[in-house]
Amino acid sequence: MSTSSTASRLDELIGLGSAKRVLREIIPGNSGVHAVLLYGSAGSGKNVLASLLAQAWMCQSPTPDGADGTCRACGAFERDKNVDFLHITPQGPSQIIAVKAITNDSPKDDDPVPVLSFFRTMPLMSRHKVALIEAADAMNVSANNALLKTLEEPYPHAKLILTTDSIGKILPTILSRCVAVACEAPSLLELRDAFPEATADEIRMADGTPGRLRHLLTHRAAYEGITRLARTMLRRRRGEALVAAEDLRQVAEGLEAALKCGMRAANAETLEMLALFFSREPGAPPEWTHDIAEAHRRVMRNGQASLIFDALATKMLGQR
């Protein structure tokens, strides 16, 4: 087996067969590819692939398989200290990527370095400069338009990696200028072989992705509360709506305590897991998934969770 850091870590990833093949063609850095879009479900492994690709492109002494993992650029990257790497993620309560993350003619002291400014200078310790835009579908209209300049007129030393859970939300003008790589979920057999301790309910709520399943197993007790809540909801009657809403609040509070993620994030995660459960539950009314998705949207827009949960439970049990 190759001793390449990139090659060995690619082999360790579950599934992603076609994505691995495409990346092995791209990672040498001499393919002429300057922009890659990795898309797939949350937890599919696309962010791991993005990290491996970024390191391979920056490595000073790459092997035919990618980064060697021993050069100065690789060492700095693994310590999260490589100045030739820029990582952009959604920010603020609305979780968007604003135009100032791409270009900013009047930056404030606390503003991050924008992508266009980052690419204007040559790399200091690496073969290439690499910018990773995570959740690229969160870019607003101005940010998308600004990014097109980099995609249309790339610097020879610049490499761009985008990731998204929702390729349908990526503008066609952006998509057409990237090599799009699908990060497919592994088969059910591959998941069961890799995680023999996982239950059928946990695999269901992980939406078939190894990253989410690993997360669920790490916080198993908190997520088991969601499973119990879902099964209880299937047995509840119309007059038990307020009790069901209180149970929903308690489960979300337990998740917040386990993940330490903030109450709004815990409320949203609880609703998302319930939606995944009921979407694959033969005994659940088909309207439930839609109702939960609408409640999730209201929570993400900073609605009052207690009122949203009361209304959701009342609506769901009223359909039985």
Residue ranges of the domains in the chain?
A: 5-182, 219-318
Residues 281-315 pLDDT 10s: 988 999 999 999 999 999 988 899 999 999 999 99
Here the tokens at position 105 are 């003619």
Q: What is the pLDDT of residues 240-289, one digit of tens each?
A: 999 999 999 999 999 999 999 999 999 999 999 999 999 989 889 999 99
- Tell me, what amino acid is at 224? E
pTM, whole model, 2 decimals?
0.81
In what side-by-side order are the strands of the sheet with 179-182?
85-88, 129-133, 158-164, 35-39, 179-182
Among candidates 121, 122, 124, 102, which has minimal Cα distance to 113?
A: 102
Fold for 5-182, please state it: Rossmann fold (3.40.50)
Give the DSSP H/E element, type plus range, for residue 130: strand 129-133
Q: Encoding tokens for residue 171?
A: 């503008």
Mean pLDDT of 83-90: 96
The values of phi and psi at residue 160, to 5°, are -125, 135
Least reliable range by pLDDT among 1-15, 70-84, 125-139 = 1-15
The whole-angstrom distance between residue 53's C-alpha and the CA centroid of its chain comes to 16
Phi-psi region of 66 (alpha: psi -120 to 50; beta: other; left: phi over 0): left
| Cβ partners under 8 Å of residue 135, min gap 6 | 89, 90, 95, 97, 163, 164, 165
Nearest to 120 by CA among 93, 147, 155: 155
Give the H/E segment covering residue 38: strand 35-39
Q: Both tokens of residue 230?
A: 């879902």
